Structure 1
């Protein structure tokens, strides 16, 4: 009987994963990963509640439960990356890095040390017989995007029990089993920030100061920002510059970290918001680099529809060209798919503007 070390989070997806694995005949061990120590704004450590849910669920399902502490690894390999990217004026995706560095690296190593044959996670993703990473069946919950940076060898050892199901089916199974977390709210946001005030959290770790918001067309100062790290490309809310100009909404279309400037453009369809390509760095393929990129599509953020792209690799950079797309954000992950197969990714370095006159916006991030 193969032994599977399952990452249990206290949520319904990993809980039903435990049941499905047992049903398939695996010897299942539930392990809760403690990655963060801090309390939220109300003085509550949410990981304590999640750990309790995970432990009680494992007990109900009759599987062993353990806790492993990865707070040091998380701080060194995920959180410091998160802070470093924000200091550069970029907007990182720490959940992608958590999968790369913790769940499919540190956790995998731990699982092998305790004689596990496989690891399992409650991600809505699938794996082919050839160990290709596939999208989950549920298009609304597919989480393959967050797995774009894991290694092929880790994927060979991974099982995704809920990937063949839709979310409502998983909740139905959980209710039929009488699991305490059957209707538990899905976790949202960055795992170590949770429900707390995001701007307040960033200010605790990074120095920032107010600066000018400049109209990308006139070059005039139209407002003040509270710190450049609190803004991202495409952002609409929180600019505090309503009632100016033609009364259409304003959007962040660029940042200059050295000059502490936010550039804003007015109107949903303002040309400064649009790109026709991007340049990516830190290229990663799950397996060998494809011999061709015909038929490849891409996502530039989670829950976005796939976009047709032309792919070029040049000087360790990935150049993606596409039709108009709004809000390309440095620091985010551009993920490539061929059908349902996730083939690789790169970290967005800068967008390629639709119009040359806005090219200076691309050089605003260190």
Structure 2
């Protein structure tokens, strides 16, 4: 680089963003690290690890000689992510707050904050890539297929991606770990975080019960047979097997959640993993979002209905009301309302819709 460019890096206190800081500095960028505090851990027994994570950011920045700040996005997170999370569960759906966090916090609130530094770029530790052609910026999968996080970025605006660097997007996780260890970074052996910060290691159902009213109801089979009681429809998701509480019935095969009857507060289950009631060969998506440009329809593409699901062949058409009609070549189990269906053309992430 002929002249130093500036970058504001979102640092989480994990190994991925730590290595990003190292790589950016080695590439000659003037790096400013920012730690985002999105949840008030004092409100819920301190299960969120924000304090420890911030101390790890301080350690790594000290090792690398990088200036750092912390910024509080608790209000933005509650207003735009947590409220969405609760409203979706009230509707009997299963949302993905991580997708919303990227859209509303990391690539919106954080980007706005970073631009106050008059910076050239922001940077994130996601396993994803971008490319710019003919003035358009495209989101690409990370090269490490096991860690690819483009799914979570499928509703981020092109304008934000054009200002973003993903330093580890072309690396495998093992290489990231190796770089951290070779450079003796404080986070080199820190385990990856899992789950949503505001839930932490706690019982998920107990957490929901703190914020939402749950009502016990009946469990019926898809054939109309009464099978028992459920603890509240929000505690279950489509395709779920564990925790239903039915055993020793019929063929003895496990039961899976097939549907939720919100009107009658009934949980509908199907027995056997191959039960046709569990599979769909078509579904609808609302609120479609296209990152770079709206495609022409019908769209033949790959897609996935949840993170870590394998890519499936899909044909997408547009309804008169703007919703998307998705037809699958192979019927899929566990198509879940509220989850995000993400569309791909080769390595390019086109965008996504919310499953209805």
Scaled to the shorter chain, the TM-score interval is: over 0.9
**Structure 1 partner of 2:210:** 204
Structure 1 7/277 Cα, relative in aligned 2: closer, same or farther at 3 Å? same
**Structure 1 partner of 2:346:** 339
2:331 corresponds, among 324, 328, 331, to 324
Instruction: Provide Cα deviations, 1:188-239, integer angstroms capped at 9, x if missing partner.
Output: 112221211111110000001111110112x121011111100000000000
Q: More displaced, 192-201 or 299-308?
A: 192-201
Q: More displaced, 133-142 or 40-49?
A: 40-49
**Structure 2 partner of 1:215:** 221
**Structure 2 partner of 1:98:** 101
**Structure 2 partner of 1:154:** 160
Q: Is the 8 A contact 2:47 2:202 kept in 1?
A: no
CA drift of 1:258 comes to 2.3
CA drift of 1:129 comes to 2.7
Instruction: Provide Cα deviations, 1:96-123, integer angstroms capped at 9, x if missing partner.
Output: 0000000000000000012121111100
Instruction: Provide Cα deviations, 1:278-327, integer angstroms capped at 9, x if missing partner.
Output: 10000100021023555411010001111000110112101110021101
**Structure 1 partner of 2:151:** 145
Partner-residue secondary structure (3-state), 1:15: helix
CA drift of 1:86 comes to 0.2
**Structure 1 partner of 2:278:** 273
CA drift of 1:44 comes to 4.7
Q: What TM-score does the superposition give when structure 1 sets the normalisation length? A: 0.93
Q: Is the 8 A contact 1:40 1:196 kept in 2?
A: no
How is 1:104-115 mapped onto 2 (pairs within 5 angstroms)? 104-115=107-118
CA drift of 1:38 comes to 2.5
Tell me if 1:236 matches 2:241. yes
Tell me if 1:20 matches 2:26. no
**Structure 1 partner of 2:262:** 257
User: What is the distance in 1 between the residues matched to 2:105 and 2:205?
Assistant: 25
What are the ranges of 5 or more consecutive residues in structure 2 without an aligned counterpart?
Answer: none
What are the ranges of 5 or more consecutive residues in structure 1 without an aligned counterpart?
Answer: 350-366
User: What is the distance in 1 between the residues matched to 2:154 and 2:194?
Assistant: 19
**Structure 2 partner of 1:311:** 316
Q: More displaced, 332-341 or 57-66?
A: 57-66
Q: What TM-score does the superposition give when structure 2 sets the normalisation length? A: 0.96
Instruction: Provide Cα deviations, 1:53-81, integer angstroms capped at 9, x if missing partner.
Output: 11111111110010000000000000000
